[in-house]
Amino acid sequence: MFTLNMLAPGQSAEVVCVSGADSISSRLREMGFVPGEAVRLLRLAPLGDPLKCMIHGSRIALRNREAQRVVVSPQ
């Protein structure tokens, strides 16, 4: 099982699911992290947090703990 924070910069993946049932996981789903969507990790901050990714043509910065909730399948 891979999560979004495990991808290397430039690597793409398909969203499998978002774990959890709280406000953070709901917000991630609202931003487009839904099963079947393609996501690409663009870059990491110097200390690895936050990370910048692209989904639906939008660039989104996520904290490492938020990215750990997005389960992906690398392509």
Superfamily of chain region 2-74: Ferrous iron transport protein A (FeoA) (2.30.30.90)
Q: Model confidence over 2-15: pLDDT tens digits?
A: 999 999 999 999 99
pTM surpassing 0.85?
yes
Count CB-CB contacts under 10 A for residue 74: 11
Tokens, residue 49: 């947090």
Give residue 34's Cα distance to chain centre: 10
The reported pLDDT for the residue numbered 22 is: 92
Give the pLDDT confidence of 64-73 residue by residue, as tens digits. Answer: 999 999 999 9
Segment 8-42, tens digit of pLDDT? 999 999 999 999 989 999 999 999 999 999 999 99
Domain parsing of the chain, residue ranges: 2-74
